Amino acid sequence: MKKTLALLLALAMLCALGACSSDKAETSPSGEPAAVSSGVEDGVLTVAMECAYAPYNWAQPDDSNGAVPIKDSNQYANGYDVMMAKKLCEANGWKLEIVQLDWDSLVPAVQTGQVDAVIAGQSMTPKRMKEVDFAGPYLYATIVCLTLKDSKFASAKGISDLAGGTCTSQLGTIWYDTCLPQIKGAKIQPAQESAPAMLMALETRTVDFVCTDMPTAQGALIAYPDMVLLNFEGSEDNFVVDEGDINIGISIRKGNTVLKEALDSVLSKMTADDFNELMKQAISIQPITKE
């Protein structure tokens, strides 16, 4: 009986000293926070994207033009993001795995370790940089608008010419949250769940114009020849945005320095012209589909 009591007292003391703490696995022997796993120890880079955001990424039924299988699906992913992911994997000796997720699920997937990275046309905004770390940029995207050729806004030379128009953009983007509110008197409609839904809102005349980035707009003009691009770049009557709003980056888990350095080692050797040339290739092969 005395031996049992002594054993229980000893265990109680160990727990009091932290030996039974559930946080032990999250700290190093020195007591410092343990390093975040890179996620690529297995030689596989797991990347999340919508697979519905051409020309950045899309889903297709076969592996033509170098498309990559989408995990747990009979579909394949392709687009600028896939092309870039393949370059990064080739340079680092990794295999590539693509996971399809909704836009709002991308950041949480990185934060929880469900995926190693998100390559999905995400702007490197201050808000996102509080939630995840970013490698890159891997593209510099100009912010533009789209309207229909027969619209009264088709000749707009600046955002002041868009005053009073009905408009929308994609949910959770700086186009919707930051840019549209800068248009005086704009009648901002509910945000759309996806880029295709945004374009369809314009095509069906639910709105007068939409705000997006240059690659998305260029891809849209192929699918919708009745649309026209409004680019106010170089004008004083343009959207005011931070540099992070037009820098497109790869989001990774906070503190994942190993993966960030591996990605940046490749991206830092690429120029804006390299990015634009790859995007041009993506636009040339994107499927002409409408929601």
Length of the chain in terms of residues written:
291
Q: How confident is the model at residue 20 (pLDDT cuts 50, 70, 90)?
A: very low
The tens digit of pLDDT for each residue in 250-284 reads: 999 999 999 999 999 999 999 999 999 999 999 99
| Mean pLDDT in residue range 154-180 | 96
As a whole number of angstroms, the distance between CA 93 and CA 274 comes to 21
Q: What percentage of the chain's residues is helix, strand, coil (to nearest 5)?
A: 40, 25, 40
| Mean pLDDT in residue range 146-168 | 98
Closest CA to 131 of 115, 113, 114, 110: 110
| Mean pLDDT in residue range 132-144 | 96
| Mean pLDDT in residue range 219-231 | 95
H or E element, residue 282: helix 272-285
DSSP assignments along 169-200, one per residue? -BTTSHIIIIIGGGSTT-EEPPPBSSHHHHHH
| pLDDT at site 289 | 61
Query: What integer best gives the mean pLDDT of the chain?
Result: 89
The tens digit of pLDDT for each residue in 25-83 reads: 344 444 444 567 899 999 999 999 999 999 999 999 999 999 999 999 999 999 999 99
* Beta-sheet strands, E only, within the chain: 44-49, 52-53, 57-60, 68-69, 76-78, 95-100, 117-123, 133-140, 143-148, 166-168, 187-188, 209-213, 227-230, 247-252
- Complete domains list, the chain, with CATH: 44-140+245-285 (3.40.190.10), 143-232 (3.40.190.10)
Tell whether the model's pLDDT for residue 1 goes beyond 50: no
- Residues linked to residue 187 through DSSP beta bridges, in sequence order: 166
As a whole number of angstroms, the distance between CA 201 and CA 190 comes to 11
Which of these ranges, 8-12, 42-46, 142-146, 165-169, has the smallest mean pLDDT?
8-12
| pLDDT at site 10 | 45
| pLDDT at site 3 | 41
Which of these ranges, 4-18, 104-118, 158-172, 269-283, has the smallest mean pLDDT?
4-18
Map tokens 């619209």 to a residue.
151
| pLDDT at site 34 | 52
| pLDDT at site 124 | 93
